[in-house]
Amino acid sequence: MSAAERLDRTASLFEPEGPLAQAEIDAIRADPRFPEAIRVFSQGMISIYRGNRLLNALINDRGRMVIGYLALYLQDGGAPDGRGSGFGVGQIKALAAATGMASPGRTAAMLALMRMSGYIESARGADDRRRHILVPTERLRETHRERWRCVANAVQAVRPEFAASFDIGNPEFDAAYVRHTADYFIKGMRVIDFAPELLLFSDRNAGMMILFSLLLSGETGDSFPPQRPMPVSISALASRFGVSRVHVRSLFREAEAAGLIARDESHLVFKPPLIEACVSFFATTLLFVGYCAVRAAAEARTQTRLAG
């Protein structure tokens, strides 16, 4: 499915009153608080990154995050068969393959590591004790709450009225937020389609973390994203994010060949296409997650009223 086809499947987001209408994107890009939102987002994501060489060898960062998210989605009522409590290995393998995030074999291997690491666990179906299922653990939920807090802090910097909807830790909100964000993802929504130049980073282990680190490396007084040359150490980046120096060099070579960066032995500069891609990515991300939080909060309030 092409990027255009994926966006067509979530067309309501782009209608004149939708959160990703061009007027909304232009407004957030022009907001004087927007650079601070990018900075907060980048700092937050780096602070919670937990890459390691074993996981990196198995599947990239985005694939790992999505598989964990799909586990929450299936658990919290998103299963197509309506069971909504726990999930089978076959279910999540099929869903991950359908989204294009991971092959069935990689998903099975990732699930095995998640079980060993305490992110998911085995259980028996509530409706049929003979049915073996998997369920997310509190450890997996808290891992995603960390990411949401980071995102909420960035939204707060630029759209505090959206940030007020994040009720992280409220089970009703958490479940609704997973459903809304994952539903769009499963339909084909990809924020990266607004900044396809960043695929070079997002499809590599630690690629986005390296990009965020570079964003934060600009000199005092530079614009944000930075436009002046910035110091860069390949060995420091490799060590910080658990990848090899060869991996970082390869990333930089491809980014340079794509016209996204220029560099010498000790400095790197963002070229205009990469600056534009970063701005588009962050503007779209903040608007999209803010919109999903507003919808999730409304749903959670309705559930609370019904329960009362």
* Cα(64)–Cα(71) distance, integer angstroms: 11
Under 8 Å between Cβ of 191 and 284: yes
Write down the residue that tokens 């092409």 correspond to: 2
| pLDDT reported for residue 7 | 65
| pLDDT reported for residue 64 | 81
> Residues of 174-191 as b/e, b for ≥16 C-beta within 10 angstroms?
bbbbbbbbbebbbebbbb
| pLDDT reported for residue 29 | 95
pLDDT one-digit tens code per residue, 160-203: 999 999 999 999 999 999 999 999 999 888 999 999 999 999 98
How many alpha carbons lie under 13 Å from residue 127 in its C-beta half-sphere?
6
| pLDDT reported for residue 213 | 95
| pLDDT reported for residue 14 | 82
Q: pLDDT under 50 in the chain at which residues?
A: 58
What tokens were used for 241?
A: 């994010």
Under 8 Å between Cβ of 191 and 288: yes
Stated pTM of the model:
0.89
